[in-house]
Amino acid sequence: MYLNTSNIKLKVPAADEYAGAILVKNLYLSCDPYMRGVKHRDASTNAQDRIVFFAADQPIVGYGVCKVVDSKHPDFKAGDLVWGITKWEEYTLITNTESFFKIHHTDVPLSYYTGILGMPGMTAYAGFYEVCKPKKGEKVYISSAFGAVGQIVGQFAKLMGCYVVGSAGSQEKVDMLKKKFGFDEAFNYKEEPDLNTALKRYFPEGIDIYWENVGGKMLDAVLMNMRLHGRIAVCGMISQYDFEEHEGAHNLMHLIYKRVRMEGFSVFDYYHLYPKFLDFVVPCIRENKITCVEDMTQGLENGPASLVGLFSGRNAGKGVVLVARD
């Protein structure tokens, strides 16, 4: 129903139009590389994969941590803290609460629910334990290792008793991988003239598990260094997100020679494990067995620059935009 005033047309909501909806105040917004990558996907992927993150004249859509300020949903009430898919604005009306989780552990920073306790942490957990199926002592390589997902995968692998090597795009990130996260080795891939030689230096006997965040030339070099019965968890391929024509991998025959299992996965298929994940990770954080580094940007107006920064490596750690503290 519409009300016509002299020159403004006002939409008057029907009584039940907002049934099941919640109004949230956005506190922290998450910068995630896949927000860019989804534009290449086709209709054969599942519904959540096809969320439109960018549309002209619309706020960006993405994960965030929010406070419920009003609710017409029986499971949420004003004051609840939640995380899920929201919009890059101060307040958002959420008509579909399917992606939302209530936040119960508030003795950790709330921003962690954009990272280590949110979608990236869940990605690391599902991909490492369910897809890689790691064993103690295995040799693990992680590309883009200082990023939101990579830093957690590396720490899970260390907890499992694996030998862990990560690569990142600056000396500062490389140093932090070893000092902050306890990686056994780390290197700056931008300074390696030949990635194959670099990997042979750190994995003379080959790689059991490769955590793929990057794709392109990195994947090609890794393929030549996999061990017999190795596993490649294809989490992301950030080097390919900007290309309409994707770079082809040349060394795929190594999948056959080494009997390697290479598996792409989406975190959207694993959210049923979220309670189990929290039971595991929250005590690890409290006991300082796992930690994280955030790259916090202040203010909604500075968010887009932070998001773009993911694609040049300007972020150091989990990209988060602080909109409001409470």
Q: Which residues of this protein are in contact with ligand NDP, per CB under 6 A?
A: 32-34, 37, 120, 123, 144, 146-150, 168-170, 173, 213-214, 235-236, 238-239, 265-267, 310-311, 313, 315
- C-alpha R_g of the chain: 21
Closest separation in Å from C-beta 319 to ligand NDP? 6
159/234 with CB nearer ligand NDP: 234
Cβ(223)–Cβ(255) under 8 Å?
A: yes
230/236 with CB nearer ligand NDP: 236
Closest separation in Å from C-beta 298 to ligand NDP? 19
76/270 with CB nearer ligand NDP: 270
Cβ(230)–Cβ(208) under 8 Å?
A: yes
- Torsion angles phi and psi, residue 31, rounded to 5: -95, 115
Q: Which helix (H) or strand (E) holds 125?
A: helix 119-125
How many angstroms separate the CA atoms of 54 and 84, rounded?
17
Distance set, CA 75 to CA 65, 289, 296 (Å):
17, 33, 31
How many angstroms separate the CA atoms of 262 and 313, rounded?
26
Give residue for tokens 């090609």: 220
109/236 with CB nearer ligand NDP: 236
33/62 with CB nearer ligand NDP: 33
Cβ(294)–Cβ(111) under 8 Å?
A: yes
Q: Which helix (H) or strand (E) holds 309?
A: helix 303-309
189/203 with CB nearer ligand NDP: 189
Between the two ends of the chain, the Cα-to-Cα distance in Å is 35
250/259 with CB nearer ligand NDP: 250
Closest separation in Å from C-beta 247 to ligand NDP? 10
296: which residues sit within 8 A by CB, 6+ positions away? 111, 320, 321, 322
Closest separation in Å from C-beta 200 to ligand NDP? 20
Closest separation in Å from C-beta 24 to ligand NDP? 22
Closest separation in Å from C-beta 31 to ligand NDP? 8
185 conformational bin, left if phi > 0, alpha if psi -120 to 50, beta if neither: beta
Closest separation in Å from C-beta 150 to ligand NDP? 6
